Amino acid sequence: MKMKKDDFALNYTNSHGGEKMSDEELKTIKRMARKNTRRMDGWGWAFVICNTIFLVLFTIVTLYPVWNTVAYSFNDGLDAIRGGIYLWPRKFSVESYSKVLNIQGFVVGAKITVLRTILGTLTSLVANALLAFVISRKRFLFRSSLSLFWVVTMYVNGGLIPVMLLYRYLHLTNTFWVYIIPGMISAFNVMVLRTYMEDLPDELEESAQLDGAGYITIFIKIISPLCKPVYATVALFVAVWQWNSWFDAMLYNRMKTEYTTLQYELMKLLNSVTQQSGSANGNNTTAAAKQVTPVSVRSAATVVTMVPIICIYPFLQRYFVTGLTIGGVKG
């Protein structure tokens, strides 16, 4: 608790440029703040109550479906089919997880997804950073034309079919590399990185050049260490995108089960149900019912697929907040 108070005092003084406040002053401020709250009129209270209700509802709507999925995943498979499980499993069991891990495609998909996330993030980060570095050099001759060249790619693209045929022609389809190479550069990420690099003081580069440093040295030794926060942002964006991709696996590697991804496998599991509910009046429901994966197994698969990202994102909050602010308004 004491830490909190000191922090507040420090922050306050920092933002107001004065000296650190004494405990006495702090107390006065707090008393005044409390008084202000007390002085709130009826409308003010109504607002606070409505606002709280809204935000609590919002949180519940966001969190409940995810929590419910976790609850189902830990429930006994047969029992779960009856439904009616809300916040806690009725009959606890981890059997569904062992079932999921025994699905051949799922294990392969997990390996490929981890691999593509790591490799894809690394290559993409290096490539984007290098390109952003080149574009952000203020004295680079072709700076604006190179920048335009990449901005255009954000808005114009060939479309699904020409791209697919190109990959086929380049023999990228039915390989692992189709996950890594074509999506390596994203103009949006380049612009985020560029904006950040441009905001760094020019003097850094100039003094390094005075010491005889070339551009590569400047990139590695001067710019990159300062860009760590924005690198983290871009790495997060790319990693999430890689982890969540499924369409490329379906389109380019449908025939190659050894290059399947986690999300695509999950889709196959979930799809057996989605398709069925639409054609519920059909005669083939009995046949379909046999193929339908039990709800607990589907939930377990979903949980396995989302857990890594859910565990990581809260710690990277400040990074993506800065990244979005830079990219959203200035990009």
* Closest to other proteins by CB, 16 or 24: 16
**Is residue 54 part of the contact set for other proteins (CB under 8 A)?**
yes
**Is residue 53 part of the contact set for other proteins (CB under 8 A)?**
no
**Is residue 220 part of the contact set for other proteins (CB under 8 A)?**
no
Query: Considering only residues 3, 19, 35, 277, which one is a binding residue for other proteins as defined by CB under 8 A?
Result: 277
* Whole-number Å distance between alpha carbons of 264 and 245: 8
* Closest to other proteins by CB, 24 or 141: 141
Is the distance from CB of 174 to CB of 259 less than 8 angstroms? yes
Number of residues that bind other proteins (CB under 8 A): 97
Beta bridge partners of 75: 92
* Whole-number Å distance between alpha carbons of 78 and 158: 49
Q: Contacts with other proteins in 149-188 (CB under 8 A)?
A: 149-151, 153, 155-166, 182, 184-185
Interface segment toward other proteins; rule CB under 8 A; list 22-30, 58-66, 92-100, 225-233 = 58-66
E strands in 76-148: none
Query: Considering only residues 13, 59, 98, 104, which one is a binding residue for other proteins as defined by CB under 8 A?
Result: 59
Contacts of residue 320, Cβ cutoff 8 Å, sequence gap at least 6 = 233, 236, 237, 313
Nearest to 112, CA basis, from 171, 181, 170, 175: 175
Q: Kindly state the smallest distance separating residue 194's Cβ from other proteins, in Å.
A: 13
* Whole-number Å distance between alpha carbons of 226 and 322: 14
**Is residue 129 part of the contact set for other proteins (CB under 8 A)?**
no
**Is residue 1 part of the contact set for other proteins (CB under 8 A)?**
no
Q: Kindly state the smallest distance separating residue 77's Cβ from other proteins, in Å.
A: 15
Contacts of residue 209, Cβ cutoff 8 Å, sequence gap at least 6 = 218
Query: Considering only residues 83, 201, 225, 291, which one is a binding residue for other proteins as defined by CB under 8 A?
Result: 83
* Closest to other proteins by CB, 201 or 212: 212
**Is residue 42 part of the contact set for other proteins (CB under 8 A)?**
no
Q: Tokens 């396995």 — which residue?
A: 304
Q: Contacts with other proteins in 99-118 (CB under 8 A)?
A: none
List, as own/partner pairs, every contact residues 240-246 make where C-beta atoms lie below 8 angstroms and the sequence separation is at least 24, other chains included: 240/309, 240/313, 241/183, 242/113, 242/116, 242/117, 242/120, 242/121, 242/179, 243/113, 243/117, 243/308, 243/309, 244/309, 245/116, 245/179
For 267, counting Cβ atoms within 10 Å of its Cβ (0-12 exposed, 13-18 middle, 19+ buried), the class is middle
* Closest to other proteins by CB, 24 or 147: 147
**Is residue 214 part of the contact set for other proteins (CB under 8 A)?**
yes
Beta bridge partners of 92: 75
**Is residue 3 part of the contact set for other proteins (CB under 8 A)?**
no
**Is residue 274 part of the contact set for other proteins (CB under 8 A)?**
yes
Query: Considering only residues 23, 32, 49, 58, which one is a binding residue for other proteins as defined by CB under 8 A?
Result: 58
Helix (H, G, I), strand (E, B) or coil at 75: strand
Interface segment toward other proteins; rule CB under 8 A; list 97-105, 115-123, 224-232, 265-273 = 265-273
**Is residue 17 part of the contact set for other proteins (CB under 8 A)?**
no
Q: Contacts with other proteins in 284-323 (CB under 8 A)?
A: 295, 298, 302, 305-306, 309-310, 313-314, 317, 320-321
Contacts of residue 195, Cβ cutoff 8 Å, sequence gap at least 6 = 326, 327, 330, 331
**Is residue 201 part of the contact set for other proteins (CB under 8 A)?**
no
**Is residue 18 part of the contact set for other proteins (CB under 8 A)?**
no
Interface segment toward other proteins; rule CB under 8 A; list 17-25, 94-102, 134-142, 225-233 = 134-142
